[in-house]
Amino acid sequence: MRADRLVAVLLLMQARGRVTAAELAAELEVSVATARRDLEALSAAGIPVYPQAGRGGGWRLVGRARTDLSGLSAAEAQALFLLVGPAAAVSGAAKAALRKLVRALPETFRADAQAAAEAVVLDPARWGAQESAAGESAIGESGVVGVLQGAVVRRRRVRLSYAKRSGEASVRVVDPLGLVEKGGVWYLVAGTEAGRRTFRVDRVVEVVVTEEEAVRPAGFELSAAWGGVVAEVEGRQTASVAVVVVPARLVSVLRSQFGRHCEVVEEGGGRARVRVWAPSPLMIAQHLAGWGAVVEVVESEGVRVELARLGAELVARYGV
């Protein structure tokens, strides 16, 4: 996992002062290109890691940070924890490393560093899809995400110009609690006058960080709060269920349509009995309509009715 590697890179550089990308690659058992990207990520985040060209060159960890993490400035400590913090929720090794790093920081930096570590959660699964391996995410990227990260860490209220699905924008003042990247899409979890809400960051037209202190509920934990959001959304997405029979060889295709919301109930004789879920009978029917007579709906009168209606509409428009 990348967070583990970033911590390992920093600790190696503390011990050696200077390393090359090739040396890091051999030590961490990754490619040279991956090692170089990790070094560049640390440098871009503000950690005092710099490349040096020529004979005896490589990458150096400069200043007092070479011998003690307390040599990191407050901004550098926050940058480091923004990079490695998100994986702590899914990696025991990263969580243990973060605890050690917090203890190694000056006491005045610890609160902000801890806040940075808890500011972002990575959820690699797409909505309704099987979980995948966590990729390398653009944590700390510039633009709206970076501004919101800073507001979360500093606990500052923000004013959002937010576009609704209709395209109309409204202005909202919210207390940013954390950021989540799920399936390549960023979400802001925030407190509002109407309670906790989740906003898609790609719909944020403009964000202004105010000097008002954000209200953060006692005991709030971003990963647990996000788990509740996912459960609620997934619950709405599985309101309707149907059981269908398809050729066993096509189960993988059915899974690609329904993701996690597809379960093989029984299989044998080249046929499979499969249970599928969606928010409504119509949405299940829309997924299945293109299968024609290959799929048979054996349970769910609502889905059969919707399939018949869709078929009648197609015949009315295209029948001869």
pLDDT digits (tens, 9 = 90+) for 210-230: 999 999 888 888 878 888 888
- Model confidence at 29, pLDDT cuts 50, 70, 90, reads confident
Q: Residue 39 in contact with residue 24, Cβ under 8 Å?
A: yes
* H or E segment and range at residue 8: helix 2-16
Q: What domains are there in the chain, each with its CATH number?
A: 2-117 (1.10.10), 123-234 (2.30.30.520), 238-318 (3.30.70)
Q: How many other C-beta atoms lie within 10 A of the C-beta of residue 100?
A: 11
pLDDT over 60 (residue 84): no
pLDDT over 80 (residue 85): no
pTM above 0.85, yes or no: no
Q: How many other C-beta atoms lie within 10 A of the C-beta of residue 274?
A: 24
Q: In sequence order, which residues have a C-beta less than 8 Å from that of residue 208 and are 6 or more positions away?
A: 158, 159
pLDDT over 70 (residue 105): no
Q: How many other C-beta atoms lie within 10 A of the C-beta of residue 118?
A: 22
Q: Residue 152 in contact with residue 255, Cβ under 8 Å?
A: no
**Burial classification of residue 170, based on how many CB atoms lie within 10 Å of its CB (0-12 exposed, 13-18 middle, 19 or more buried):** exposed
Rounded alpha-carbon distances, angstroms, from residue 20 to 11, 34, 129, 141, 170: 14, 12, 39, 25, 50
Averaged pLDDT for residues 306-311: 92
Residue 237's pLDDT is what? 63
Q: Which two structure tokens, joined as six digits, stand for 239? A: 């309101």
Rounded alpha-carbon distances, angstroms, from residue 284 to 137, 218, 296, 297, 306: 33, 41, 13, 10, 9
- Give the integer Cα–Cα distance in Å for 35 and 29: 9
Backbone angles phi, psi at 31, to 5 degrees: -75, 160
pLDDT over 90 (residue 173): yes
Residues in the chain, how many? Answer: 320
Q: Which two structure tokens, joined as six digits, stand for 202? A: 């790609």
pLDDT over 60 (residue 128): no
- Give the integer Cα–Cα distance in Å for 150 and 254: 42
Q: Residue 268 in contact with residue 136, Cβ under 8 Å?
A: no
pLDDT over 60 (residue 311): yes
- Maximal CA-CA distance, the chain: 81
Comparing CA positions, the residue from 73, 79, 63, 77 lying closest to residue 13 is 63
The average confidence (pLDDT) of the chain is 76
Residue 88's pLDDT is what? 46
Enumerate long-range contacts of 98-104, CB under 8 Å, 24 or more apart: 98/7, 101/7, 101/69, 104/68, 104/69, 104/70
Averaged pLDDT for residues 66-95: 51
Q: Which of 120-134, 268-282, 303-317 has the lowest mean pLDDT?
A: 120-134
Averaged pLDDT for residues 138-166: 77
Q: Which of 141-145, 208-212, 279-283 has the lowest mean pLDDT?
A: 141-145
Q: Which two structure tokens, joined as six digits, stand for 247? A: 């050729």
pLDDT over 80 (residue 269): yes
Identify the top-confidence range among 51-55, 179-183, 216-220.
216-220
Q: In sequence order, which residues have a C-beta less than 8 Å from that of residue 271 and are 6 or more positions away?
A: 245, 246, 247, 248
- Model confidence at 243, pLDDT cuts 50, 70, 90, reads very high
